[in-house]
Chains A and B, each alone.
Chain A
Amino acid sequence: MDRSPVLRLHIPEPKHRPGEAADFSHLRLPRAGSVERPPVDSGAFAMRDLAYALIRVLDDEGTAVGPWDPQLDADTLRRGLRAMALTRAYDERMYRVQRQGKTSFYMRSTGEEAVAVGQACALERDDVVFPTYRQSGLLIARDWPLVDMMCQVYSNSADRLKGRQMPVLYSSRAAGFFSLSGNLGTQLSQAVGWAMASAYKGDHRIAAAWTGEGATAEPDFHHALTFASVYHAPVILNVVNNQWAISCYQGIAGGDESTFAARGIGYGVPALRVDGNDFLATCAVTRWAAERARSNLGPTLIELFTYRATAHSTADDPSRYRPADEWEKWPLGDPIRRLKDHLVGRGEWSEAQHEAMRKEVEEQVRAANREAEAKGTLDRGPLPPVASMFEDVYREMPAELRRQRDELLGGR
């Protein structure tokens, strides 16, 4: 006799698909300013509600409200606004040159600029960041030269990475920016190890790492939380929940059952969930986590709730898997517009200044691109010397690699 119901396999599905109108009314978005700000020495369990809340500073009118207001001065905010606008202009230009065939591939961070730029605002310049490919804004916020980034995108003769990495997989030791990995998640436990080493050496620097919500399913995310928790590593672990991992909505990574921030609680890692499109909020939560790390109180997990406004990459077409109007209906808006409105509301900025700044950063990007293209593009060269492909496999080139290099050069 059958007493139990027939078992059914559950396959998560997003609310809406192409051809349907986007609707985010199911999202629980607490009022700006309504979430408490606990002391930095709070335990993960005591502050568990924050993993299910959403820290917001800017309200719908663009006013900064509540205990998380980082009280940033207007100059800092204008610098942040400019870095976000520059990141967007840079992305647009590089996207266009890829479409022109001058390089193979590109990935934009459009709509997510307040993640990298807002968080950079809360870190010291010598803290080391272990990002993903969608935090180019960290380099821009750290005033890294655009030309150098572009040369990497073009794999040209001035590419410091010698044409080895796909576009956007930057590395800059001088900027404290760890070499980007195409294998997702690996940087998380590495950042923990780096932070453990910093603590072991009695250093003052901390580490911060990022992952998309999709790659939280990778073991490295769980390794990072476990090891960071066990050894109280001075590290900030960030999950950028931009709703989409290529074509898979965040439910495929487990986001329908719980928040990504809530993953931290089980590991005893304090967790914050923040409006990722609110520059003031991303800066404020990162400051909180950084203070914690610098005070030997250990790691923090931050979920940055945002939206991937453009395609995953130039090799992707989101119209095939998500409604076309999601970005315009995203209830947390555009991070650049929101910070602009805030500054205008404070009397520290104007529409005219904003328009002038937008043109300025576009011109800055155009000029940098002219300079970078003069050093070569992937389609036309000049590229790095081909024999350089045999360098840096090991510190010293082994005999067998020297032989292979000579074979290539000798045309055998």
Chain B
Amino acid sequence: MPAMNMVQALNSAMDVMLGRDPDVVVFGEDVGYFGGVFRVTDGLQRKYGAQRVFDAPIAEGGILGIAVGMGAYGLRPVAEVQFADYIYPAMDQLVSAAARLRYRSAGEWWAPVTVRAPCGGGIFGGQTHSQSPEALFTHVCGLKTVIPSNPYDAKGLLISAIEDDDPVVFFEPKRLYQGPFDGHPERPAVSWAKHPLGAVPGEHYRVPIGAARVARAGADVTVLAYGTMVHVALAAAQETGVDAEVIDLRTLRPLDADAIAASVEKTGRCVIVHEATRTGGFGAELAAVVQERCFYSLEAPIERVTGWDTPYPHAFEWQYFPGPARVGRALRRATEG
């Protein structure tokens, strides 16, 4: 099985879908001839032609607007928003149109749009190239929100997203594009080639939307994480020696609440980790679900480890980033109680 990094795995997903389905088209800023600023669409225009993989004007609202229209026609558009931080001009098309079209027309029209957007920090991107805005989308009924943590899931989930008849917002943690980053920027970069989930089949396969994955089985505390923070949580468990069960949510909406409940009922403790800002973040929803489903199993308060409630600061990103030390302290607090 070929080793792929996350960029190659995502590219392979679109390659497979362009090859299988003539209704799949891929577009966005710089995605055509050049192949994307992160190279995720590299080579696709050469292989499938400019009619199917093309450059778009710098207007995220327009990109999503035409995507909705194309979806209404019957295509399966895959639109790239160059950075998740740039997605806000597209909010109206995503929220009022893509997410609501099936409902408002009682199933007459729908928009099977996939929106890909690199998210998260750790590349000195400052406040406009580092954000994790997933909670803004999980709040929107009619949208699905997906965040993979490894190449194997990235490919399988992106194929599922493109094949899905509902609109999917697909966030790609850009710090994971080249390797399983565990939150230690001072250490040498690790490659996906040595990671079991860097082994990615070349052909078509799906990872289902709405199913979490146990990234590490454990008995003492459940860690709920997604994207980059899955690897940070794994590092924290190893560094503290706490026997944590790390759940990689993979999909935030629909949420695999059964997997969460099964784990927390077993461990009786829960730490929630995300890179996004804290207040109103997806961790708040997770904490609510855990207390609704598992209140009588809880033996300690639920912990949240998140980005601070500030914009992402350029010079202080490692003080901002909720790294293994902060997660480790939360694991200790949760298990000592």
Q: Interface residues, chain A, CB within 8 Å of chain B?
A: 130, 160-162, 164-165, 169, 171-173, 178-179, 181-183, 186, 188-198, 200-201, 207, 219-220, 222-224, 226-227, 230, 391-395, 398-400
Q: Are the CB atoms of B103 and A392 closer together than 8 Å?
A: yes
Q: Is the CB of A192 within 8 A of B75?
A: no
Interface-centre pick from B72, B107, B144, B165 (highest chain A CB count, 10 A)? B72
Which residues of A sit under 8 angstroms from B56, Cβ to Cβ? Answer: 227
The 8 A-B pairs of least Cβ separation, nearest first, read A193-B69, A189-B65, A223-B62, A193-B66, A197-B73, A190-B69, A179-B105, A194-B69
Q: Which residues of A contact B61 (CB under 8 A)?
A: 189, 219-220, 223
Q: How far is the CA of A393 from the CA of B100 in the complex (A)?
A: 7
Contact A190 B62 (CB under 8 A): no
Asked if B21 CB lies within 8 Å of chain A CBs, one says: no
Task: List chain B positions with a Cβ less than 8 A from chain A.
Answer: 25, 51, 56-57, 59, 61-62, 65-75, 77, 89, 92-93, 96-97, 101-110, 141-142, 144, 165-166, 210, 254-255, 257
Contacts of A189 in B (CB 8 A): 61-62, 65-66, 68-69, 93
- Our pick among A164, A178, A186 for the contact of B106 (Cβ within 8 Å) is A164
A179 to B254, CA, bound (A): 26
Partner of A186, one of B73, B89, B92, B110: B92
B65 touches A224 (CB 8 A): yes
Find chain A residues with CB under 8 A from B89 CB. 219
Which listed residue, A161, A169, A182, A186, touches B65 by the CB 8 Å rule?
A: A186
Given contacts A193-B77, A227-B57, list 10 more A-B pairs with CB under 8 A.
A164-B106, A171-B104, A171-B109, A178-B109, A181-B104, A190-B72, A190-B97, A220-B92, A223-B61, A398-B254
In the bound complex, what is the Cα–Cα distance between A201 and B106 (angstroms)?
26
Residues A394 and B142 in contact in the complex (CB < 8 Å), given A171-B108, A179-B101: yes
In the complex, what residue of chain B is closest to A229 when comparing beta carbons?
A: B57
Cβ contacts under 8 Å, A161 to chain B: 104-106
- The answer to whether A160 touches B210 (Cβ under 8 A) is no
Beta-carbon contact of A188 and B102 below 8 Å: no
Given contact pairs A169-B104, A186-B96, A220 touches B70 in the complex (Cβ within 8 A): no
Given A165-B104, A220-B61, A394-B166: A195 in contact with B97 (beta carbons within 8 A): no
- Are A193 and B109 neighbours in the complex by a CB distance under 8 Å? no
Chain A positions within 8 Å of B97 at CB level: 181, 183, 186, 190
A161 vs B74: C-alpha distance when bound (angstroms): 20
Nearest chain B CB to A387 CB, angstrom units = 14
Are B96 and A179 in contact, CB atoms less than 8 angstroms apart?
A: no
On chain B, the residues within 8 Å of A192 by CB distance are 65-66, 69
Distance between Cα atoms of A189 and B60 in the complex (Å): 11
> Cβ of A162: which chain B residues have Cβ within 8 Å of it?
106
Determine the residue in chain A with the shortest Cβ distance to B55: A230
A162 to B103, CA, bound (A): 9
Docked Cα-Cα span, A173 to B104, in Å, equals 12
- Complex interface: chain A residues within 8 A of B69 (CB): 130, 189-197, 207
> In angstroms, how far is the closest chain A Cβ from the Cβ of B103?
5
Residues of chain B within 8 A (CB-CB) of A393 are 102-103, 141-142
Interchain CA distance A226-B74 in the complex, whole Å: 23
